Amino acid sequence: MIILTRVDHRLLHGQVAFSWTQSIGADCILIANDDVPINEIRKTTIKLAKPQGVKLVIKTIEDSIKALKSGVTDKYKLFIVVDSIEDAYKLATECPEVNKINLGGTKAEEGKENISKAVNVTLEEKKLLRELNSEGLDVYIQMVPSEKAVKISDIL
C-alpha cells in the first residue's frame, strides 16, 4: 500500500529517511528515479542514508510503475520518493494508488518561481500540479511532518 509519494530533489536524506519514514510508519522506501539505478555514487550515497529496519528499493520510473501495477509492492507500507514534479506526475497518472503527493523540495533554478521556502516550479510544473489537484489528488507542500501542510490549491 502506498502511504505517501514525496517530491524531494535530494531524494533520501535525514529528513526523509528518519522524520518522514517514522512519522508515516513506512517499512519500505522506493526511490523512483531514472539516474540513481545507473549512477553508482548516487546509489551508494542513498543506501548509506537508509534507516535501519526499512527496506530500500531503487528503480527507474518505468520499472517503478511496473512494480506498482504488478502488486509486488502491496505487502509494504510504501513511501515513494521522486526528485521531480514530472516524475510524480508520471507515477500518479499511471498508478491510481498514488493519491497524495507531498512537495518537500525542488531546486531553485533559472525560469522557476519560488512558491514556498523550498519549492520552486516552472510554468509547466504548475500546470501538472493543477491537473493532479483537479483530478482529486491531495497535493500539498510540507517540508517536515511537524509543519502544517499547505494545499497546492491555496498557492496556485
Residue 94 has pLDDT above 90, yes or no: yes
- Compute the average pLDDT of residues 11-34: 93
Is 9 in the active site?
Answer: no
Residue 36 has pLDDT above 90, yes or no: yes
Q: What is the pLDDT of residue 67?
A: 97
Domain annotation for the chain: domains and CATH numbers: 2-155 (3.40.35.10)
pLDDT band at 18 (very low <50, low <70, confident <90, very high): confident
Report strand pairing: 28-32 vs 55-59: parallel
C-alpha–C-alpha distance, residues 43 and 31, integer Å: 10
Residue ranges with strand state E in 43-99 = 55-59, 78-82
Residue 31 has pLDDT above 90, yes or no: yes
Q: What is the pLDDT of residue 45?
A: 94
C-alpha–C-alpha distance, residues 124 and 112, integer Å: 10
- Compute the average pLDDT of residues 88-105: 96
- Compute the average pLDDT of residues 83-98: 97
Cβ atoms of 108 and 82 closer than 8 Å = no
* Active-site residue (options: 13, 50, 112, 126): 13
> pTM score > 0.85 for this model?
yes
- Compute the average pLDDT of residues 16-20: 88
pLDDT band at 156 (very low <50, low <70, confident <90, very high): confident
**Cell numbers 493519491 label which residue?**
99
Residue 85 has pLDDT above 90, yes or no: yes
Share of the chain above pLDDT 70, in %: 100
